[in-house]
């Protein structure tokens, strides 16, 4: 990202917290739950996100071998697909991760002069 980001996003967030949250999410799913999640993931709108089209069947087939960009896609979309597939506490974790992701990826700084003054 850049020097203003307080964490190294790829390793700390995507390959750290999101990876382990994803593992806790999918590890006990039945075939029906995997299919339902994949259907929802395909249908979720990615308008306004910096993502290529999501290959949901790939996410399910290779659930334990995903990489950073796939974890970013999960981070941005999972909340809309998991509402009845995971326990409430795990769903709350996904919602919190979604908020974290929205704070970490700021695609545009509207007032750069004010931003630079506030940034150490």
Residue 1: pLDDT band (50, 70, 90) is very low
pTM above 0.85, yes or no: no
> Which pLDDT score is estimated for 111?
77
CA distances (Å), 71 to each of 19, 55, 85, 88, in order?
7, 12, 18, 21
Residue 102: pLDDT band (50, 70, 90) is confident
* DSSP helix/strand/coil, 63: coil
Task: Read off the tokens for 112.
Answer: 């750069």
Segment 14-66, tens digit of pLDDT: 888 999 999 999 999 999 999 999 999 999 998 888 788 999 999 999 999 99
Which residues, other chains included, contact 20 with Cβ-Cβ below 8 Å and sequence gap of 6+? none
């Amino acid at each position: 990202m850049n020097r203003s980001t307080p964490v190294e996003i790829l390793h700390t967030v995507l390959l750290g917290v999101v990876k382990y949250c994803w593992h806790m999410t999918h590890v006990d799913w039945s075939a029906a739950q995997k299919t339902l999640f994949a259907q929802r993931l395909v249908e979720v709108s990615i308008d306004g996100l910096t993502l290529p089209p999501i290959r949901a069947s790939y996410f399910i087939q290779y659930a334990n071998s995903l990489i950073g960009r796939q974890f970013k896609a999960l981070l941005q979309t999972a909340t809309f697909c998991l509402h009845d597939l995971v326990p409430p506490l795990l769903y709350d974790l996904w919602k919190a991760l979604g908020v974290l992701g929205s704070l970490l990826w700021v695609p545009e700084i509207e007032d750069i002069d004010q931003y630079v003054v506030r940034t150490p």
